[in-house]
């Protein structure tokens, strides 16, 4: 089915509503702090919903459509290993709390505060370059997705001249995101991301219910069981022949989640510093996990239904159309990416197809605005600003920020036109992110929590992690034939053999893990064996005698109780505790289930039919939870939105709050 007039009307209505909302924020972006960090006026629900949307781009949808098509419900089971790590991170405010205490507006600004100005510039440049490479494939993936979903042709004839749709659509999509980023900086990004998040949550629940009702479990079950025995889509312990998305992939994901907390700045830079207080940032972190579960349910159900469409005879006609569309695409990589949008165009009826397209457009805008804002501001704040002897005036500063954002938009457009990635998107993104995160995680954690961490150690960790990741990225992008030809040369045979092994046996996720291990080793070794140092963490974290009055919450004078040391700190109100009990109770319950069922499966042969019954009940249970969570967060988000504008109206611009360190 192709887009109908009513479908286009739904998309246009969403776009018009977002434009109106963005224009309402324009008057509040009067200062650099407002453009960069929304003047630090945001509440927990607003941050949680908006941040969740900023991470749910078309690239993320395709990422999970690809992986979940390969492993099905196994993608749900193994991430349950994250439960204990998430609980520790949420209760402690791991990294988030202390970073907000520094009042830094970019990660590299914190690096200057903790290490040195030269390291700030270097880290900012490395982060920006890895971000551009990572971000560089987003426009092409989005454009291809929309072309497949909306049934757009490859070329259109205008005045007798054939014009390619792909680059024009990329320009349009980037231009839309650029507008929302320009209007009010982080304020407009935050507000529109929140509205998009609320809309998309509702749409995804509706689409999920439609899919489950249309395909029905009686049809879905045989399609799931049709997978090869050692690549099961329902039995998570039967993934022996799944080379990419196996249990090791998810285990490494747990390590990266803990190690890389706040290290990746793509789409996160403005959100990391926008909370009203460190406590609000911590509460947003506690709530974030709920939003992710709701938003990501569709990326499990849709691939499973696509498999059902391809397998079950009741959908033979649609399956034949889908097969013909995929066979017309000559690249296996693009076939994997376009399977879902092609299928969506066949599955969803008029009206629902428009809602799906509008939700995908919201996902595109949400991620692209946040990423444009992050990488554009990071270039100015962490690479250009430290070199200036005289500070920018506020007007000059804002012009430079907007010019930098424009430059990022131009770079990703060109990158998408010329670059062809050859891996699953999940692997490409993990590997490109590790160019920065591989070393930055050790630098962040060591800088916030260990007074012995030295500047020399920070350099060693960053260089080690970056080098290891770049080598892995380069090897993964080289064509196998090129490596084989190198093997014929006497002096290159050893290098070629290593490259061939890495391509065939080591995934991008595993290379990321190796770079992390090397960076940690470098940071700890150099700090312990090099010149002794002891950093004043009270000054860095602006606590005690250095506390900023607007950031101080109630009861900070008395010593903490044992309950507060567990994470329920003195800032917690009664409602905060209730929210935290519920939020922590969920992963605690599923962690207990994971441990018990894992032990049982290691001792007893559990049939696929038992897992099928479990997943059937689990799916509808999560749908019910999604409805409740969507209502809960939408109400809380609109309350925070009201408070945001109230605080912004009362806020007075501070020209010195612009990201400089050590100014008068």
CATH number of the domain enclosing 62:
1.20.1730
Strand partners of residue 158 = 161
Q: 490-506 burial string, b = 16+ CB within 10 Å, else e?
A: eeeeeebeebbebbeee
Same domain, 96 and 234: yes
573 located within any domain:
no
Q: Where do runs of H (alpha helix) occur along 273-424?
A: 278-295, 298-311, 316-327, 332-347, 352-379, 394-418
Asked if residue 186 lies in contact with residue 195, where contact means CB atoms within 8 angstroms, the answer is no
Query: What's the whole-number mean pLDDT along residues 572-591?
Result: 84
Backbone angles phi, psi at 436, to 5 degrees: -100, -50
Give the largest Cα separation in the chain, rounded. 78
Q: 630-653 burial string, b = 16+ CB within 10 Å, else e?
A: bebbbebbbebbeebbebbeebee
- Torsion over CA of 327, 333, 334 and 335, rounded to 10 degrees? 40
Q: Which of 62-76, 158-172, 468-482, 530-544 has the lowest mean pLDDT?
A: 468-482
Residue 320: predicted pLDDT: 94
Residue 264: predicted pLDDT: 80
Same domain, 630 and 593: yes
Calpha distance 54→197 (Å, rounded): 9
562 located within any domain:
no
pLDDT at 640 over 50: yes
pLDDT at 342 over 90: yes
pLDDT band at residue 421 under the 50/70/90 scheme? low
Placement of tokens 């014929």 in the chain: 488
Backbone angles phi, psi at 657, to 5 degrees: -90, 75
Pair of tokens at residue 537? 């963490």
Q: How many domains does the chain have?
A: 2
pLDDT digits (tens, 9 = 90+) for 447-505: 999 999 999 999 999 999 888 888 876 666 555 555 456 555 554 555 545 555 555 56
Same domain, 240 and 272: yes
Asked if residue 124 lies in contact with residue 112, where contact means CB atoms within 8 angstroms, the answer is no
Same domain, 296 and 377: yes
Residue 51: predicted pLDDT: 86
Placement of tokens 């790590």 in the chain: 85
Pair of tokens at residue 451? 């007074």
Same domain, 490 and 590: no
- Helix axis angle for 247-259 and 508-529, nearest 10°, is 40
Domain stops at, among 506, 531, 547? 547
Q: What is the 3-state secondary structure (H, E, C) of 2-64?
A: CCCHHHHHHHHHHHHHHHHHHHHCHHHCCCHHHHHHHHHCECHHHHHHHHHHHCCCHHHHHHH
Query: What's the whole-number mean pLDDT along residues 602-615?
Result: 90
Helix (H) or strand (E) holding 164: strand 161-164
Calpha distance 305→311 (Å, rounded): 10
Domain stops at, among 522, 547, 572? 547
Calpha distance 292→184 (Å, rounded): 26
472 located within any domain:
yes
Calpha distance 151→318 (Å, rounded): 15
- Higher per-residue pLDDT: 485 or 250: 250
pLDDT at 527 over 90: yes
pLDDT band at residue 404 under the 50/70/90 scheme? very high
657 located within any domain:
no
Say what percent of the chain tops pLDDT 70: 87
Composition of the chain by helix, strand, coil, percent to 5:
75, 0, 25
Residue 504: predicted pLDDT: 54
Query: What's the whole-number mean pLDDT along residues 178-204?
Result: 91
pLDDT band at residue 3 under the 50/70/90 scheme? confident
Q: What's 161's DSSP letter?
A: E
Residue 500: predicted pLDDT: 52
Query: What's the whole-number mean pLDDT along residues 269-275?
Result: 81
Same domain, 404 and 470: no
Residue 569: predicted pLDDT: 65
Residue 653: predicted pLDDT: 73
Asked if residue 401 lies in contact with residue 376, where contact means CB atoms within 8 angstroms, the answer is yes
568 located within any domain:
no
Q: Which of 72-76, 400-404, 507-511 has the lowest mean pLDDT?
A: 507-511
pLDDT at 240 over 60: no
Pair of tokens at residue 575? 């409602």
Q: Which of 6-10, 25-29, 242-246, 389-393 has the lowest mean pLDDT?
A: 242-246
Please give the mean pLDDT across all residues of the chain: 83
pTM for the model stands at 0.82
Pair of tokens at residue 110? 């914190």
Placement of tokens 């024009």 in the chain: 168
Query: What's the whole-number mean pLDDT along residues 209-218?
Result: 94
Same domain, 396 and 435: no
Same domain, 170 and 41: yes
Calpha distance 49→636 (Å, rounded): 10
Look at residues 501, 71, 60, 69 and name the one whose alpha carbon lies nearest to residue 245. Answer: 71
Query: What's the whole-number mean pLDDT along residues 643-651?
Result: 87
Same domain, 435 and 476: yes
Query: What's the whole-number mean pLDDT along residues 34-47?
Result: 85
pLDDT band at residue 663 under the 50/70/90 scheme? very low
pLDDT at 279 over 70: yes
Calpha distance 289→286 (Å, rounded): 7
Query: What's the whole-number mean pLDDT along residues 152-157?
Result: 84
pLDDT band at residue 79 under the 50/70/90 scheme? confident
Same domain, 402 and 481: no
Same domain, 526 and 414: no
Q: Which of 24-33, 357-366, 480-489, 518-527 has the lowest mean pLDDT?
A: 480-489
Domain housing 287: 5-422+580-650
pLDDT band at residue 664 under the 50/70/90 scheme? very low
123 located within any domain:
yes
- Sign of the four-CA dihedral 194, 195, 196, 202: positive
Query: What's the whole-number mean pLDDT along residues 54-61?
Result: 84
Domain stops at, among 547, 565, 595? 547
- Helix axis angle for 44-54 and 608-650, nearest 10°, is 120
Same domain, 110 and 250: yes
Residue 96: predicted pLDDT: 82
- Higher per-residue pLDDT: 554 or 331: 331
Calpha distance 227→617 (Å, rounded): 21
Q: How would DSSP label each residue in 468-524?
A: HHHHHHHHHHS-HHHHHHHTTSTTTHHHHHHHHHHHHH--HHHHHHHHHHHHHHHHH
662 located within any domain:
no
571 located within any domain:
no
Residue 561: predicted pLDDT: 58
Calpha distance 266→274 (Å, rounded): 15
pLDDT at 353 over 90: yes
pLDDT at 635 over 90: yes
pLDDT at 373 over 60: yes
């Amino acid at each position: 089915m192709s887009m109908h007039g009513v479908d286009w009307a739904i998309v246009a209505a969403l776009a018009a509503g977002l434009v109106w909302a963005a224009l309402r924020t324009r008057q509040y972006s009067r200062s650099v702090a407002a453009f960069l960090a929304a003047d630090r006026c945001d509440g927990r629900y607003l941050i949680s919903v908006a941040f969740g949307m900023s991470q749910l781009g078309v690239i993320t949808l395709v990422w999970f459509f690809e992986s979940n098509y390969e492993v099905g419900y196994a993608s749900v089971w193994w991430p349950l290993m994250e439960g204990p790590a998430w609980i520790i991170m949420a209760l402690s405010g791991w990294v988030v709390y202390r970073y907000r205490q520094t009042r830094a507006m970019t990660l590299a600004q914190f690096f200057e505060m903790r290490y040195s100005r030269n390291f700030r510039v270097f880290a900012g440049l490395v982060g920006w370059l890895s971000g551009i490479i990572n971000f560089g494939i987003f426009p092409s993936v989005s454009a291809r997705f929309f072309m497949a979903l909306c049934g757009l042709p490859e070329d259109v004839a205008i005045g007798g001249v054939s014009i390619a749709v792909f680059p024009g659509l990329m320009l349009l999509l980037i231009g839309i995101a650029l507008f929302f980023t320009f209007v009010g900086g982080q304020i407009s990004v935050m507000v529109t991301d929140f509205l998009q998040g609320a809309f998309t949550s509702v749409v995804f629940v509706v689409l999920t219910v439609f899919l489950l009702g249309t395909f029905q479990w009686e049809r879905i079950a045989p399609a799931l069981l049709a997978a090869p025995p050692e690549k099961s889509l329902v039995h998570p312990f039967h993934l022996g022949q799944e080379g990419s998305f196996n249990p090791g992939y998810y285990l490494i994901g747990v390590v990266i989640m803990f190690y890389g907390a706040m290290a990746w700045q793509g789409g996160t830079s403005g959100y990391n510093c926008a909370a009203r207080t460190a406590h609000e940032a911590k509460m947003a972190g506690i709530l974030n996990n709920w939003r992710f579960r709701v938003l990501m349910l569709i990326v499990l159900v849709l691939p499973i239904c696509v498999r059902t469409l391809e397998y079950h005879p009741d959908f033979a006609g649609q399956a034949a159309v889908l097969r013909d569309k995929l066979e017309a695409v000559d690249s296996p990589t693009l076939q994997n990416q376009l399977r879902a949008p092609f299928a969506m165009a066949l599955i969803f009826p008029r009206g629902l197809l428009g809602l799906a397209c509008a939700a995908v457009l919201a996902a595109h805008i949400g991620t692209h605005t946040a990423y444009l804002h992050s990488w554009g501001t990071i270039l100015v704040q962490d690479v250009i600003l430290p070199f200036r002897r005289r500070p920018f005036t506020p007007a000059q500063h804002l012009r430079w920020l907007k010019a930098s954002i424009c430059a990022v938009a131009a770079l990703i457009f060109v990158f998408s036109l010329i670059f062809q990635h050859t891996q699953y998107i999940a692997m490409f993104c993990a590997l490109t992110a590790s160019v920065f995160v591989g070393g930055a995680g050790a630098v962040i954690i060591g800088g916030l929590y260990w007074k012995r961490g030295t500047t020399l150690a920070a350099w060693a960790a960053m260089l080690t992690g970056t080098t290891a990741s770049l080598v892995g990225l380069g090897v993964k992008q080289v064509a196998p034939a090129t490596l084989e030809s190198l093997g014929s040369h006497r002096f290159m045979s050893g290098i070629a053999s290593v490259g061939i092994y890495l391509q065939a046996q080591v995934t991008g996720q595993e290379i990321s893990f190796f770079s992390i291990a090397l960076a940690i080793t470098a940071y700890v070794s150099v700090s312990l064996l090099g010149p002794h140092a002891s950093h004043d963490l009270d000054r860095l974290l602006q606590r005690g005698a250095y506390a900023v009055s607007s950031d101080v919450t109630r009861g900070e004078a008395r010593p903490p109780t044992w309950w507060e040391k567990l994470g329920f700190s003195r800032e917690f109100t009664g409602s905060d505790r209730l929210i935290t009990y519920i939020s922590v109770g969920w992963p605690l319950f599923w962690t207990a289930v994971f441990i018990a069922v894992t032990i049982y499966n290691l001792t007893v042969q559990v049939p696929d039919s038992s897992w099928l019954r479990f997943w059937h009940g689990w799916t509808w249970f999560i749908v019910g939870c999604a409805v409740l969570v969507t209502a809960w967060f939408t109400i809380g988000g609109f309350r925070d939105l009201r408070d945001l504008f109230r605080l912004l109206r009362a806020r007075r611009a501070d020209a010195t709050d612009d990201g400089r360190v050590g100014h008068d």
